[in-house]
């Protein structure tokens, strides 16, 4: 289970993010504990209000728990992990909120704690929390027999195609796969050994090498989008400088944008837009199936909750009828029978709670399996779309190379035969 935590402020923004149903197919508030408010937005605002009595600006600790993609993880595993994390970070007893998200056939968890110790009115210090979370993460993989990522065992073996939130947002804006983009840049770097060969490799895929605004090294695509090479290729500045030289010797971003916008590439850019439009139309049946499936899953879960609530009310009334009233109730208390009935009721309530949770867990696992099957079709479709985009980008690069070569040939002929630059005008009479 991958654990990613951060100290942060912004209670309102975090609540809005955790409750966003547009980006998640299912959003469930699992627990709100230690707050006066019973809703998530109100709970996080409480943390902010209390923090005003301190100088703390990062008054929350936010954590995401992401289990392995192919594992069906019950609620109890998440709760056990959260208990271990609280002990490790000394957040026991702090108000917390837990939210579950489901998307693309996967379920993950978000937890938010208040860092403010109300007894001493100061923030709880969280030294080395990233290292501590990594330790717990490794323990969880070993404990449940999951295949542990190599990068978690050895930092040097971390998956180079993993992407950050900023990279994902940039790729999403371009309607492209961030892993495909990272793999492309890393492949270009691996097959090159100099600035010229790296620039040629990028050009073959429709990118131009340029100098960034911050004196860094960037790549620019046909749309003028800028990609930081240190981030997307996973390289350090020293590595880039050793191979590419001083960034000041590279063309500026605006210069590369003008080169990428030459007339020969206009038709190919139109083709790229056509591919994206056709993809959107072709993908619509899949999206309709997804919307129908998500709607059906939501309705089924709502029906189960309604059924369980009605059954819980009926069972509660039945248990209450066992407790005698009046003189009989007093007599039962005296002889200890009342306490026995009460203990029996408490045990049955607990058993029924576990039963309801197991019913819901079974339904969720079944629905996740159905959603994963549909996601496989989405994944195959996206791979095909990315292959088309890559092929057209290479076409843009080839057209740019042809244009440059043709122009050099014309310039060479002019120099050899002394032709005037404008061939439409004949020699002067």
* Structural domain count of the chain: 3
The verdict on 13 and 144 lying in the same domain is yes
Q: Do 242 and 310 share a structural domain? A: no
Round to whole Å and give the CA distance between 123 and 89: 13
Q: So what's the pLDDT on residue 259?
A: 75
In DSSP terms, which residues pair with 99 in a beta bridge?
29, 110
- Give me the domain span that covers residue 254: 165-261
The C-alpha atoms of residue 113 and residue 44 are separated, in whole angstroms, by 9
The parts of the chain modelled with pLDDT lower than 70 are 150-172, 174-175, 214-215, 260-269, 392-429
Residues 14 and 43 reside in one and the same domain? yes
Q: What is the pLDDT of residue 245?
A: 84
Residue at 424 is within a domain: no
pLDDT of residue 406: 43
> Residue 12 and residue 41: Cα distance in Å, rounded?
7
Whether residues 22 and 141 fall in one domain: yes
Residue 416 lies in a domain: no
pLDDT of residue 2: 86
pLDDT tens for each residue of 308-322? 999 999 989 988 888
For residues 275 and 235, state if they share a domain.
no
Query: Which letter does DSSP use for residue 155 in this model?
Result: G
Q: What is the pTM of this model?
A: 0.67
Cβ atoms within 10 Å, residue 38:
9
Indicate whether 150 and 199 sit together in one domain. no
- Note the pLDDT of residue 305: 92
Q: Which residues of 212-244 are buried (b: 16+ CB within 10 A; e: fewer)?
A: beeebbbbbbbeebbbbbebbbbbeeeebeebb
Q: What is the rounded CA–CA span in Å between residue 318 and residue 345?
A: 10
Whole-angstrom CA distances from 354 to 47, 120, 169, 343, 346 are: 31, 38, 40, 17, 13
Q: Is the dihedral of CA 244, 248, 253, 259 positive or negative?
A: negative
Q: Does residue 300 lie in a domain region?
A: yes
Domain-embedded: residue 414: no
Task: Supply the pLDDT for residue 261.
Answer: 64
Q: Is the Cα torsion angle 340, 342, 344, 347 positive or negative in sign?
A: negative
Do 372 and 320 fall within a single domain? yes
Residues 99 and 33 in one domain: yes
- Give the residues across from 109 on adjacent strands: 65, 100
- CATH value at residue 128: 3.30.930
Residue 116 lies in a domain: yes
H/E element holding 187?
helix 178-190
Is residue 167 within 8 A of residue 32, CB to CB? The reply is no
pLDDT tens, residue by residue, 383-397: 777 777 777 666 665
Residues 70 and 180 in one domain: no
- The verdict on residue 220 lying in a domain is yes
In a domain, 308, yes or no: yes
Specify which residues 116 forms β-bridges with: 123
Give the separation between CA 28 and CA 107, rounded to whole angstroms.
11
d(CA 379, CA 214): 36
How many Å separate Cα 11 from the centre of its chain? 20
pLDDT at 239: 85
The pLDDT, as a whole number, for residue 425 is 41
Task: Indicate the residue among 124, 157, 190 that finishes a domain.
Answer: 157
117, 194: one domain: no
Residue 179 shares a structural domain with residue 91: no
In a domain, 196, yes or no: yes
Residue 160 CA to residue 182 CA, distance in Å, equals: 8
DSSP-based three-state secondary structure for 231: helix
């Amino acid at each position: 289970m991958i654990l990613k935590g951060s100290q942060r402020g912004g209670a309102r923004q975090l609540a809005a993010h955790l409750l966003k149903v547009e980006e998640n197919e299912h959003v469930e508030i699992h627990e709100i504990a230690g707050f006066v408010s019973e809703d998530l937005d109100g709970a996080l605002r409480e943390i902010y209000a209390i923090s005003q009595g301190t100088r703390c600006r990062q008054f929350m600790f936010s954590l995401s728990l992401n289990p392995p993609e192919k594992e069906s993880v019950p609620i109890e595993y998440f709760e056990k992990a959260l208990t271990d994390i609280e002990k490790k970070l000394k957040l026991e007893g702090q108000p917390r909120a837990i939210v579950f998200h489901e998307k693309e056939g996967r379920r993950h968890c978000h937890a938010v704690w208040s860092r403010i110790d109300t007894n001493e009115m100061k923030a709880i210090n969280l030294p080395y929390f990233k290292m501590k979370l990594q330790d717990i993460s490794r323990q969880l993989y070993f404990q449940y027999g999951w295949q542990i990522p190599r990068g978690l065992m050895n930092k040097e073996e971390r998956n180079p195609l993993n992407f950050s939130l900023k990279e994902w947002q940039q790729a999403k804006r371009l309607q492209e796969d961030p892993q495909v983009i990272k793999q492309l840049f890393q492949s270009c770097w691996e097959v090159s050994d100099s600035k010229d060969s790296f620039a040629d490799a990028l050009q073959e895929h429709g990118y131009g090498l340029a100098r960034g605004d911050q004196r860094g090294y960037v790549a620019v695509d046909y749309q003028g989008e800028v990609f930081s090479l240190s981030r997307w290729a996973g390289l350090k500045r020293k590595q880039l400088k050793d191979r590419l030289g001083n960034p000041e010797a590279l063309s500026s971003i605006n210069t590369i944008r003008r080169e990428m916008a030459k007339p020969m590439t206009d038709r190919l850019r139109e083709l790229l837009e056509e591919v994206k439009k056709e993809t959107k139309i072709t993908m619509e049946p899949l999206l309709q199936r997804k919307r129908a499936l998500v709607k059906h899953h939501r309705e089924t879960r709502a029906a189960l909750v309604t059924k369980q609530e009605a059954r819980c009310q009926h069972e509660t009334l039945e248990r209450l009828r066992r407790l005698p009233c009046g003189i009989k109730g007093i007599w039962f208390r005296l002889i200890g029978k009342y306490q026995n009935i009460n203990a029996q009721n408490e045990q049955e309530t607990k058993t029924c709670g576990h039963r309801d949770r197991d019913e819901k867990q079974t339904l969720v696992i079944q629905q996740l399996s159905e959603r994963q099957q549909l996601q496989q079709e989405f994944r195959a479709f996206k791979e095909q779309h990315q292959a088309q985009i890559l092929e057209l980008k290479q076409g843009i690069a080839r057209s740019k190379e042809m244009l440059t070569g043709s122009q050099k040939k014309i310039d060479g002929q002019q120099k050899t035969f002394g032709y005037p630059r404008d061939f439409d005008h004949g020699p002067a009479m």
